[in-house]
């Protein structure tokens, strides 16, 4: 019969092996950094231009802004173009942001994903790519699924989107993440309106411990809807700037290009 001491040694050995396996699977990030963080902002909201981008610029950080075509204000086009020139990424979030009917009031039907089919959705993604190219001059853009789902008329359009070559990378809304990343279904962490800077910093610290990628999603920052406060957002950026030697912060496509070349 094994003694308690023997069982303890076996348990310790197994734990050590598990930790070694976990460390072996941890990603290696540029400059020997411990984690990668991507800051993404959805829907082309005024607070992106008025609050989020100035805060990012002040911290020397770059984000990814997934724009919705029918939310683009003509008077703001030059501001979005300037943001892209300064190194922020503009991404595709479709023209109409079609979500399931359950996300909308009963009277609203035109913009629901149930009203689409797969060819319609891919045509809209293609159109939005053209709009983005007219703003930033780039031929390739990343994509974020509206409401984090990829259904059109109840059919998963992700397989045809993969085959189409319209986008190289797509961000979803699921969490948690993991080491095995699907570049066309990258998970994203969201925070509600009660979120503090400490809450988001804790998520970053967790990614540092595991050597993982953390994609954070925002809608409004200090305004608009589904917002986090400008103060909480600023606290997160201050932490990321202060820990730039251990945390790599870069736009979505930049990080995914790295992941794709370092499996």
pLDDT confidence bin for 171, thresholds 50/70/90: very high
Q: 177: which 2 tokens?
A: 């993440």
What fold, for 28-261? TIM Barrel (3.20.20)
Average pLDDT value for the chain: 87
For residues 148-176, average pLDDT: 92
User: Of all residues in the chain, what percent carry a pLDDT higher than 70?
Assistant: 84
5-14, 60-69, 78-87: which range is least confident on average?
Answer: 5-14
At residue 163, the 3 state secondary structure works out as helix
Residue 24, exposed/middle/buried by CB under 10 A (0-12, 13-18, 19+)? exposed
Helix residue ranges per DSSP H, 67-212: 77-85, 118-136, 158-164, 197-210
Per-residue pLDDT at 24 exceeds 70: no
Tell me: cis bond preceding 176? Omega within 30 of 0 counts: yes
Number of H helices, E strands in the chain: 9, 10
The DSSP output letter for 102 is G
Residue 195 phi, psi dihedral angles, 5° rounding: -65, 140
- In this prediction, residue 21 carries a pLDDT of 36
Cα(156)–Cα(85) distance, integer angstroms: 35
Q: 103: which 2 tokens?
A: 């996300």
Q: Which among 173, 186, 203 has a CA at the least distance from the CA of 255?
A: 186
For residues 236-259, average pLDDT: 98
Per-residue pLDDT at 98 exceeds 70: yes
pLDDT confidence bin for 109, thresholds 50/70/90: low
Residue 114, exposed/middle/buried by CB under 10 A (0-12, 13-18, 19+)? middle
For residue range 204-243, list pLDDT tens digits in order.
Answer: 999 999 999 999 999 999 999 999 999 999 999 999 999 9
Domain residue ranges in the chain:
28-261
- In this prediction, residue 115 carries a pLDDT of 83
- In this prediction, residue 2 carries a pLDDT of 45
- In this prediction, residue 186 carries a pLDDT of 96
């Amino acid at each position: 019969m094994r003694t308690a001491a023997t069982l303890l040694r076996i348990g310790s050995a197994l734990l050590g092996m598990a930790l070694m396996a976990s460390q072996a699977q941890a990603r290696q990030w540029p400059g020997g950094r411990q984690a990668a963080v991507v800051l993404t902002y959805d829907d082309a909201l005024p607070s992106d231009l008025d609050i989020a981008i100035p805060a990012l610029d002040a911290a020397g950080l770059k984000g990814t802004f997934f724009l919705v075509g029918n939310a683009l204000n003509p008077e703001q086009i030059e501001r979005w173009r300037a943001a892209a020139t300064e190194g922020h990424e503009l991404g595709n979030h479709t023209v109409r942001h079609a979500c399931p009917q359950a996300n909308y009031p009963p009277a609203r039907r035109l913009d629901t994903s149930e009203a689409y089919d797969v060819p319609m959705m891919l045509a809209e993604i293609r159109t939005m790519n053209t709009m983005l190219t007219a703003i930033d001059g780039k031929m390739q853009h990343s994509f974020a699924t509206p409401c984090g789902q990829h259904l059109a008329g109840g059919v998963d359009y992700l397989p045809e989107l993969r085959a189409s070559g319209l986008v190289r990378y797509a961000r979803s809304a699921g969490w948690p993440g993991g080491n095995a990343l699907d570049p066309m279904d990258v998970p994203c962490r969201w925070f509600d309106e009660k979120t503090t800077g400490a809450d988001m910093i804790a998520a970053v610290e967790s990614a540092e411990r595991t050597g993982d990628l953390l994609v954070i999603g925002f809608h409004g920052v200090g305004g608009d809807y589904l917002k986090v406060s400008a103060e909480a957002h600023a606290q997160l950026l201050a932490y990321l700037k202060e820990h730039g030697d251990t945390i790599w912060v870069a736009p979505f496509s930049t990080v995914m290009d790295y992941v794709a070349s370092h499996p």
